[in-house]
Amino acid sequence: MPFTLHPTLARDTVEVTRLPLCRALLMNDRRFPWLILVPEREAVREIHQLSPADRTALVEEIARASEALERLFQPDKLNVGALGNIVPQLHVHVVARSAGDPAWPGPVWGSGPAAPYAERELAEIRAKLAAALARTG
């Protein structure tokens, strides 16, 4: 079955790069440096529905996204989450958090409306993240 990105993810993000398993997307919300990894597997909702090999690939790509965000943004903490209560397609958030960011120390999910990047800013952070991800793994 061909893979189709959920329309809500397509609307709220821009693609940064494609990793071996996942599309790496940037959430268009300048409040938080925020990647979303979406395994290119159709009709998978939960981590345990992936094959063991895909699960290992997923955790390695989570580590790569974490390292890229850490190098670029020096966060106080990474937050990693697979929720999917609203968008059921399996996707993993990897978010750089800083003490004093608008949701700290609470979660980013449900923390209010996104603040979209300006066009030039979005292009810059997307390019930096693509380069940083390419240096990992």
Q: Residues interacting with a second copy, by CB under 8 A?
A: 45-48, 50, 52, 55-56, 58-60, 62-64, 66-67, 70, 77-86, 88, 97, 104-107, 109-110
Compute the CA torsion angle 31, 107, 8, 121 (nearest 10 deg).
Answer: 20
User: CB of 42: closest distance to a second copy in angstroms?
Assistant: 18
Residue 12 or residue 117: which is nearer to a second copy going by CB? 12
User: CB of 97: closest distance to a second copy in angstroms?
Assistant: 6
Residue 79 or residue 122: which is nearer to a second copy going by CB? 79
Give pairs for 117-126: CB < 8 Å, separation 24+.
Answer: 117/28, 117/29, 117/30, 121/30, 122/14, 122/26, 122/28, 125/26, 125/33, 126/14, 126/16, 126/26
User: CB of 37: closest distance to a second copy in angstroms?
Assistant: 12
Number of neighbours of residue 19 by Cβ within 10 angstroms: 21
User: CB of 5: closest distance to a second copy in angstroms?
Assistant: 19
Residue 7 or residue 81: which is nearer to a second copy going by CB? 81
Helix, strand or coil, per DSSP, at residue 24? strand
Q: In the structure encoding, which two tokens stand for residue 94, read together?
A: 């990897």
User: CB of 49: closest distance to a second copy in angstroms?
Assistant: 9
Distance, first Cα to last Cα, the chain: 28
Residue 121 or residue 137: which is nearer to a second copy going by CB? 137
Residue 14 or residue 63: which is nearer to a second copy going by CB? 63
